[in-house]
Structure 1
Amino acid sequence: MDGPRAARAAQEQIDFLLTQLSLASGPSRDRRKEIDAAALQAEHHRLSELWGQLERAQEEMHGVEELALMALLEGEEVRGLAGEARAAWDGVRKVLPRALVATESRRDAITLILEELDAGAFERWLAPLLRQLPRRGWSATLHIDGERAGPNDGAWPASRRWGPPRAPGDVLEALDKPKRGFRSVLLRCTGAYAGAFLSLERGLHRVVARKRDAGEASDDGRMHVFVHFVAHAADIAEDQWEHRSLAPPPAGSAAARRRGAAARELDEVEGAALIAGRRARIAMDPAWYWERLDEVALTHLLLFEDEGSGLDRSEYFSAGGDGAALDDLHDA
């Protein structure tokens, strides 16, 4: 199957796993070898199932193309196939985002620091994300900057800057309060492809509010959230909480972050999401951004395939910056 480099890598990985499984076949009394073989089988099953979905979707699309070509050659109307063509293409696009990150080893977990740079931005950005987690089958634990532990929070260290673990529903309740004293939240998220898709969200998010909502935003009608990458993992050991990558962002430099180039610009006026510094545009109501995350991820992932985009895939899926050391601690 022709296609993006990352998708072809999945097929190559399937072939590699088949070779490894054949070498590991046969009875063994070594428990470690049995565990390794079971892991290889599970990984092969996952990739093969995903690859099969992609092949079936592509075959459906090719079938519609052949029908259209035959109709053209016979002088028949082809507009009636437009609906089938769209459905077939949607089938390919539904599978492709996962296929493009299928071989990433750090794809299912992530830790991020979410920083609200303008009042009201979390209500527009974070609340919809948290409401979408159950639909995606993702789990999240959050920690609020500066929150003190209550009587039901166990022995959470009082010296720790981040508060005790909270469920998404707890944070949604906190966001609904008329007044709140926090601007940063630590998000630890797990689930199928949660790490890969959310890793693409790092950087500045700018919401361009409609005029009637400008009262919620800053003076220029814009609201900002900054997504700080921490690690491609969601578990934090006791001795890691003081790591520099987990320090809340300094308030003194927030203004500079707000003025930076946006990784995502959600324009409620134009009805569009601008991806990776305006390199790509998706027509949508930004209120549906998290519902259409697969489409957003696919748009971003395909930019990696374009050498002219200037984007480096490894910056998103390999540990880098302060988070590299924390990732290394998890790998040790």
Structure 2
Amino acid sequence: MDIDSSPYRRELETAIQVAQTAAHISREVLAAAQADVAPGSFDLVKDDLSPVTVADFAIQALLTRALSEAFPGDGFIGEESADELRQNPALLSRVLGVLTRCAGDSVQFRDADDLCQVIDSCATLSPGAGPGRIWVFDPIDGTKTFIRGEQYAINIALLEAGRQVMSVVACPLLSMNAASPVTDASVDPTGKGCILYAVRGFGAYARPLYVGPGEDIQPPRRLPRHADAATSPGDLRSVTCWALLDSGVDVVHKGVAERLHVPFPGCDLLGWVPRWVVLALGAGNMTVWVYKKRSRLAKIWDHAGAMLLFEEVGGMITDVDGRDIDLAAGRKLEANFGFVAAPRSIHHIVLRAVHDTLRETGKEELLG
């Protein structure tokens, strides 16, 4: 089935268009910071110690306003609240400024209060307690690497009754032809970046994000169901976060790869959305993530939609306990612990390797 015949054609076209504008915002903010034109763009720190940028706020406001105007009956979930903006007038001014320069007349905000209200409209809704259709945003996934001019992504997901039905992901610095091993420093030398999108049951697609002067827009490339071709552990290729590992259990991640004789770390990326993208593109086909504590929960905006890209190329995703990922459980994935993603036909082998490695390394308390 061709994606143009899907029932989400209008949603997809709208989301792709706004994602391209969001990518333009991210590039302008990054270029200004690198040139030190706007000192202080990256000087704010949230309570979870990750940096917050002008781009995070501007993109969340852009996505919410544009998509709420197009689909007024839908709900919206985003990572940011406007508390920091209200406390920092200079930052608020920068956000309004970059929206005016990059979005023009495509979205408009009456004033600073209107901007803050739009951002806050995403900050409280829970996927199990809102409208049947909910959009989930991560305006900048991989903020730490974004600051360094390395890999990051803009994630847009549409859920219906807690189920992923559509995904649009913009990766301004990642080539759609990136070959393994992909790392945070694997910046597209052509400057084109890529945009990926998928509709459940209609496949996943990729095309360059940017078109140069005089160039024609390339038709999208349907991504092959490469994960279906993997039938034994020897076909597995890892995607993980190793160089900047913080929340995961290093001995388990490495131990699983060694048990399965998979080169490690393979593709090494900080942001979860870029990891799902790299899995969809075929530079890898397996990822395992075991948090250091059972109380640690994943956040919905790091995974919703982006996971659909891998599923549409034949991947299967569960948590460490083998349960399906429940996207209706809350803004944090309260019904799940960690992730195990692999080709569907051999997912059970990878899951068993995770359990065996946890027992072997004395981490039985992390088993459900």
TM-score under structure 1 normalisation? 0.27
Choose between structure 1 and 2 for higher RCO, CA contacts under 8 A separated by at least 6 residues. Answer: 1
Report which of the two has the higher share of helix: 1
Structure number with greater Rg is 1
